[in-house]
Structure 1
Amino acid sequence: MLTGYTIAIIGGDARQLEVIRRLSEWDASLYLVGFDQLDHGFTGAKQVELDDIEPDQLDAIVLPVPGTNLEGHVDTIFSNQTVQLTEEWVGKTKEQCVLFTGITNDYLTKLSNEQKRKLIPLFDRNDVAIYNSIPTVEGTIMMAIQHTDYTIHSSKVIVLGLGRVGMSVARSFHALGADVSVGARQTEDLARVYEMGLKPFPLHSLKDAVADCDMVINTIPAQVVTAAVIQHMPSHTLILDLASKPGGTDFRYAEKRGIKALLAPGLPGIVAPKTAGNILATVVSQILIEEIGERGSQHVGE
């Protein structure tokens, strides 16, 4: 339970609605900024503007997955409000106030350092990334089916990267009957690919590996699917790039060659916002209890 906690939830997409619902169910007092166009309310939650909040009452601030831009502005999909998270405003919060974001940037990192507030980029956590790999895989399968005229079964699929998402994608496409090869840089990752019963290859030989592939699924946030690589692909190859923007694919050259290449970051929020929001809410509540649990119990006793 989060009785006694006061939390501001600022902006976001459909995932934030599930975060609001769950935190409200757990009895937190919520201020919602950037949700005035919603056609329903949440028990225990107040829709306000940022200036209406007394910052020194806040135990936590929950930002959307993208956090802010480099000027501190927050996307508010459910509002026409312009919301800016400033250093001055954050400086008025409790010293123990925790800032949650999906991913951070130079602005948020600088703000938290200068104001000495704890910043937690949720997507840097292994637990969140592993949980999110589930809807990411389902979204990748959906896109693969939508954008091809052949089955996944028996297709030659190349997965680039064996991180938390890459491992789940490789395993799932293999389970669907695809002929899966995995490209990685680290020798230990190549050993793990072999142990999984898949075909490993070093990234430096990617040009050779794609010569007869049907699908390339990239999870590496660096330019790995270059023009030189795309040049060696069959014309029917589908490229699904799951890396964060701008991805790891030369999309200009892929279009020039007539190869379909799709950038698809943030699939959990697109294909399963309820599940993705539930993941975030669970982790946020766990961290709050760990970080300020003692102070929260004092609130309850007062």
Structure 2
Amino acid sequence: MLTGYHVAIIGGDARQIEIIRRLNEWDATVYLAGFDQLNESFTEAVDLDFDSDQVEKLDAIILPIPGTDDEGKIDGIFSNRLIQLSEEWLKRTPKHCQIFTGITNSFLTNLMKTVDRSLHPLMDRDDVAIYNSIPTVEGTIMLVIQHTDFTIHGSKLMVLGLGRVGMSLARIFDHIGADVSVGVRSSKAMARVYEMGLTPIDMNKIHESNMECDILINTVPHLVVDQQVIKQLPSHALIVDLASKPGGTDFTFADKRGIKAILAPGLPGIVAPKTAGRIIADVMLRILKEQNRKENSNE
């Protein structure tokens, strides 16, 4: 339970709806900003007044998964207005106030150092990423089925990257019956791919490798699916890029070649926002409880 905790949720998407529900279940006092167009009514929540003394009570602030833009502005799907996160406002929060975001950027990271507040980029955590890989895989399967006219079973599929999401993708598509290859850079990762019974591809020599496949799924957040790779793909091939914007694919060249390429970051929030919201809320609860234990032990 979070009885006595004051938590502000500023902007976001459908994942925040589940976070609000969970916080209400845990008896926290919830303040909302950027939800003026929300159809659902959260009678337990309070509108966040940035000019009031509410800020002086906050134990935590929850930002959207994308965090802020490069100027500190916060967006959300439930409001037409941008909210500016400022140094002056954050300095009014209690010293123990913790800031949660999905991903961070240089502005947000530097701002937290300036105001001396703890920042938790949740998507950098192994537990969040691994939990999130489940709806990511399901969403990827959905996209592949929607945008191909052949079965996954028996198709030649390539996953670039064997991180927390890449490993789940490779395993599940192998179980479905695809002929799976995995692009990796380290000898350790190549050994893991071999142990999984899949075909390793050395991404350090990607332009010397045979990259021809029916489905190409990229998880690497820099340009790897370039012109030389795309030239090897058959016209019916599908590229699904799961990396954060702008992705790791030359989408312009893929379009010129007549190859369907989809940029699909943030799939958990699109295909399973309720589950994705629960994942975030549960991890935040553990962090807040741990902080509370530390504070109590120091008293």
- TM value normalised by structure 2: 0.96
> What letter is aligned with 1:287?
I
The whole-number CA distance in structure 2 between the counterparts of 1:142 and 1:265 is: 14
Contact 2:218 2:241 in 1 (8 A): yes
Q: 2:146 matched to 1:146?
A: yes
Q: Which moved more, 1:199-208 or 1:70-79?
A: 199-208
Contact 2:75 2:81 in 1 (8 A): no
> What letter is aligned with 1:245?
K
**What displacement does 1:132 show?**
0.3
Contact 1:181 1:201 in 2 (8 A): yes
The secondary structure found in structure 2 opposite 1:193 is: helix
Q: How many residues align?
A: 298
Distance 1:53 1:40, change over 3 A: farther
> What letter is aligned with 1:150?
F
The whole-number CA distance in structure 2 between the counterparts of 1:225 and 1:39 is: 41
The secondary structure found in structure 1 opposite 2:290 is: helix
Contact 2:9 2:63 in 1 (8 A): yes
**What displacement does 1:236 show?**
1.1
The whole-number CA distance in structure 2 between the counterparts of 1:176 and 1:243 is: 23
Q: Residue 245 of structure 2 aligns with which residue? A: 245
The secondary structure found in structure 1 opposite 2:51 is: helix
Contact 1:211 1:234 in 2 (8 A): no
Contact 1:5 1:296 in 2 (8 A): no
Q: Supply the RMSD in Å over aligned alpha carbons.
A: 1.7
Q: Residue 124 of structure 1 aligns with which residue? A: 124
**What displacement does 1:52 show?**
3.9
Q: Residue 274 of structure 2 aligns with which residue? A: 274
Q: Which moved more, 1:38-47 or 1:99-108?
A: 38-47
Q: Which moved more, 1:226-235 or 1:34-43?
A: 34-43
The secondary structure found in structure 2 opposite 1:159 is: strand
Q: Residue 159 of structure 1 aligns with which residue? A: 159
Distance 1:60 1:280, change over 3 A: same
The secondary structure found in structure 2 opposite 1:54 is: helix
> What letter is aligned with 2:213?
C
> What letter is aligned with 1:191?
A
Q: Residue 7 of structure 2 aligns with which residue? A: 7
1:200-219 Cα distance to aligned partner (Å, 9 max, x none):
12014434555531010000
The secondary structure found in structure 2 opposite 1:136 is: helix
**What displacement does 1:117 show?**
0.3
Runs of 5+ in structure 1 lacking a partner? Answer: none
1:47-79 Cα distance to aligned partner (Å, 9 max, x none):
234334522111010001011111111113212
**What displacement does 1:118 show?**
0.4
**What displacement does 1:294 show?**
5.5
Contact 1:159 1:182 in 2 (8 A): yes
Q: Residue 20 of structure 2 aligns with which residue? A: 20
The whole-number CA distance in structure 1 between the counterparts of 2:78 and 2:60 is: 21
The whole-number CA distance in structure 1 between the counterparts of 2:74 and 2:99 is: 14
Contact 1:158 1:210 in 2 (8 A): no
> What letter is aligned with 2:138?
E
Q: Which moved more, 1:284-293 or 1:262-271?
A: 284-293
Distance 1:290 1:211, change over 3 A: closer
**What displacement does 1:295 show?**
4.9
> What letter is aligned with 2:173?
F
Contact 1:135 1:267 in 2 (8 A): yes
Q: Which moved more, 1:43-52 or 1:169-178?
A: 43-52
The whole-number CA distance in structure 2 between the counterparts of 1:38 and 1:59 is: 24
The secondary structure found in structure 2 opposite 1:94 is: coil
Q: Which moved more, 1:196-205 or 1:181-190?
A: 196-205
The whole-number CA distance in structure 2 between the counterparts of 1:257 and 1:79 is: 39
Distance 1:295 1:88, change over 3 A: same
Distance 1:234 1:207, change over 3 A: farther
> What letter is aligned with 1:243?
A
Distance 1:118 1:211, change over 3 A: closer
The whole-number CA distance in structure 2 between the counterparts of 1:53 and 1:9 is: 16
Contact 1:66 1:101 in 2 (8 A): yes
Q: 2:35 matched to 1:41?
A: no
> What letter is aligned with 2:256?
K
Q: How does 1:84-95 map to 2 (within 5 A)?
A: 84-95=84-95
The secondary structure found in structure 2 opposite 1:50 is: coil
**What displacement does 1:81 show?**
3.2
- TM value normalised by structure 1: 0.95
Runs of 5+ in structure 2 lacking a partner? Answer: none
The whole-number CA distance in structure 2 between the counterparts of 1:274 and 1:106 is: 29
The whole-number CA distance in structure 2 between the counterparts of 1:209 and 1:177 is: 23
Distance 1:229 1:3, change over 3 A: same
